[in-house]
Structure 1
Amino acid sequence: MIREFSSTDILFIVTAVRWTLILSAIAFAGGAIGGLLVALSRTARNPVLRQAATGFIRVFQGTPLLMQLFLVYFGLAVVGLPIDPLLAAAVALTLHASAYLGEIWRGAIEAVPAGQNEAATALALGYRDRMRHVILPQAMRIATAPTVGFLVQLIKGTSLASIIGFTELTRAGQIINNATFQPFLVFGTVAALYFVLCWPLSLLARHMETRMRRALTR
């Protein structure tokens, strides 16, 4: 039976924001670890590591995130390994984030002037010390703005987890809409909450890009 859209429904939708944030945090943290490994592999001298990282990026950037969610959630169930929707979404989004952050950070590492690496080598610093003390600190400054920008996309990407039954913000909206049949009010509320989550991060990314551009032109 269809009922009216009420304040209780709004509270239910707002409460679901925490799951969107939890999933985003898990995926971003896991993607940061994976992305660093991918970036280091992409810039390594070992051709096997470079090719493996390139293949990983091509697979996860060349296929839709929705298909990746389906493969993790339904694929593991087919082979007898049923998985919780939260865990499935976290794994798929982590792999997705690893590919994109790895490429972002690879570009940032390669953007560090070659003279910095040469100077560190002249000081007899090994590869690990060069990356830790010289290259990565500078690369992370360059990568900060696009990394924040990707985080915005990742938060919005968590909406696809609703397809596999995980009750985050979008799924909560679907549940309430099925009960009230007032899509404009329900999904307008959902969209407003996504805006509140993402717009400040978008502004931060834009501000960082502007500061970086000014620093490079000095």
Structure 2
Amino acid sequence: MIEFTTWDILRNLLLAARWTVLLSLVSFIGGGLLGLALLFARISPRRWLSKAIGYYIELFQGTPLLMQMFLAFFGLGLFGVDVPAWLAAGMALILWSAAFLTEIWRGCVESIARGQWEASASLGMGRLQQMRYVILPQALKIAIPPTVGFSVQVVKGTALTSIIGFVELSKAGTVVTNATFQPFTVYGFVALIYFALCWPLSKSSQILERKLNVAHRNH
């Protein structure tokens, strides 16, 4: 029987954690870019467009992420499309992240006083100019804390990708446990690594929220 040292276990988990970090970055950045495009559609004066994006958001917020993973991985296979686990995981997380980020940012945009829209319109600005020069710079300050806070959910959401065969931190934990028969040690390290990834993000969100609230009150 092969003997595994504590360092062997930790080293293998840290190597797998790279894929968790990479998938989290791809999902968050991809979801952010898609979410920004959906935001413009969501607050569009065209009612049908806004409503269509609203249905998209309700669909992805109202169904479990795990089910979305299964549909992305197995659903396309029904049509003869072979989807790699990493691609299905990335697609599902990007679409899921975009739905939540769109709503977070919509709330921030709508929190800007209506007078800001009217004042910028009186200067002859078009809607895109209003968003770019007046609304988004103000909404960005409000949006930073909840956006950073949501990134924690993205990191934890990557754990579900192990169900469809993507080898990230939680999947590696299962593999290492099967090889070492030391579940307490292995999953203890897995929990600590997740904590090391998520705690700085959570703390950053809290600090940013406090600073922005203080700046707002002083203003």
TM-score, normalised via structure 2 length: 0.96
Tell me the CA shift for residue 88 of structure 1: 0.5
Where do 4+ consecutive residues of structure 1 move more than 3 Å? 1-6
Q: Which amino acid aligns with 2:90?
A: A
Tell me the CA shift for residue 9 of structure 1: 2.2
1:85 has 2:85 as partner: yes
Q: Retained in 2: the 8 A contact 1:149–1:201?
A: yes
Note the residue ranges of structure 2 that are not aligned, 5 or more in a row: none
Tell me the CA shift for residue 215 of structure 1: 2.4
Number of equivalenced pairs: 218
Q: Deviations over 1:39-81 (max 9, x none)?
A: 2222110011111110000000000000000000011112111
RMSD: 1.2
* Counterpart residue number, 1:98: 98
In 2: Cα distance, 1:137 partner to 1:74 partner: 41
Q: Which amino acid aligns with 1:79?
A: F
Where 1:16 maps in the other structure, the secondary structure is helix
Q: Which amino acid aligns with 1:92?
A: A
Q: Retained in 2: the 8 A contact 1:2–1:181?
A: no
In 2: Cα distance, 1:128 partner to 1:40 partner: 9
Q: Which amino acid aligns with 1:160?
A: L
Q: Which amino acid aligns with 1:202?
A: S
1:26 has 2:26 as partner: yes
Map residues 12-51 of structure 1 onto 2, 5 A cutoff: 12-51=12-51
Q: Which amino acid aligns with 1:186?
A: V
* Counterpart residue number, 1:184: 184
Q: Which amino acid aligns with 2:30?
A: G
Q: Which amino acid aligns with 1:66?
A: L
Tell me the CA shift for residue 2 of structure 1: 7.8
TM-score, normalised via structure 1 length: 0.96
Note the residue ranges of structure 1 that are not aligned, 5 or more in a row: none
Q: Deviations over 1:18-37 (max 9, x none)?
A: 10111011111110111112
Tell me the CA shift for residue 217 of structure 1: 2.3
Map residues 189-204 of structure 1 onto 2, 5 A cutoff: 189-204=189-204
Tell me the CA shift for residue 85 of structure 1: 0.7
Aligned-pair identity in percent equals 47
